[in-house]
Structure formats: structure tokens, C-alpha cells
Amino acid sequence: EVHLVESGGGLVKPGGSLRLSCAASGFSLSNYTMNWVRQAPGKGLEWVSSISSRGTYIYYADSVKGRFTISRDNAKNSLYLQMDSLRAEDTAVYYCAREVGYCSGGNCYSMYYFDFWGQGTLVTVLS
């Protein structure tokens, strides 16, 4: 059974840093593109960042570009989000999400939409 468990959230001051982790189980992380998605209190879902199965392709939303860094350790079946220069507007529940994909001929390909989500970790940026 696929499980995604986020951790690392908490209270941080504006300008501070935080590192989120997502532990994957029930599947091999190395075969899938992974994402971070956030949800501000009372608001909708906002895509944050994406990283391909081997980490070759990385993309960010404009709202976090230059401040957040996505990474992965396939050997540890873990996904990370390093968040620097945090702002009040970064306050949100952060979810990790797996993309549908398949592997063929030694390469893995993404279908770009999400099929499994974690339960989220809350990040609060407050002075």
C-alpha cells in the first residue's frame, strides 16, 4: 500500500528557513516524479514544485522560485523541500504528491497528474 508521510513543519519567523521531508513507502520512489503542493488556511491547492524520478528535471511555481529547493534521495525513499527566506504568505499545509508514471527500457516517464497524496505538514510563518 502506498503511503506518503510529511514531516518537518512548524512555526518559523519571517526570513527564516525550514526543511520538509516526505517519507515514501509501498513503492519505489526512484520510478516516479514527485511534487510539493500547498494549501493556505481556508484556500485552495497551489502547486509548489516538481522533481523528476532521477532529479534531472526540476520546476518551481513563480511564487517560490529562488527561495525553495526541492530534492530527493531515492536510496532513502525520501523527498525534501528546503524553504528559505520564508514569508507570511508561505503559511500553509504542505503536501507531497506522487505523479502517475511508468517505466520502459530503463527510463521512467510521468503522466503529470497526481495519484497519491500525503496528509500534509503545517508551516506557519509568523513574527
Partner 1 sequence: QLVVTQSPSASASLGASVKLTCTLSSGHSNYAIAWHQQQSEKGPRYLMKVNRNGSHTRGDGIPDRFSGSSSGAERYLTISTLQSEDEADYYCQSWGTAIRVFGGGTKLTVL
The span from the CA of 52 to the CA of 111, in Å, is 11
Q: Is 7 among the residues that bind partner 1 (CB under 8 A)?
A: no
Closest alpha carbon to 9 in 21, 26, 1: 21
Report the distance separating Cα 95 and Cα 5, nearest Å: 9
Q: Decide whether 102 or 112 has the Cβ nearer to partner 1.
A: 112
CB of 23 or CB of 61, closer to partner 1: 61
Judged by CB under 8 A, the chain residues 43 through 102 that form the site for partner 1 are 44-47, 50, 59, 61, 95, 97, 100
Quick check: helix, strand or coil at residue 31?
A: helix
Positions touching partner 1 (CB under 8 A) are 35, 37, 44-47, 50, 59, 61, 95, 97, 100, 111-120
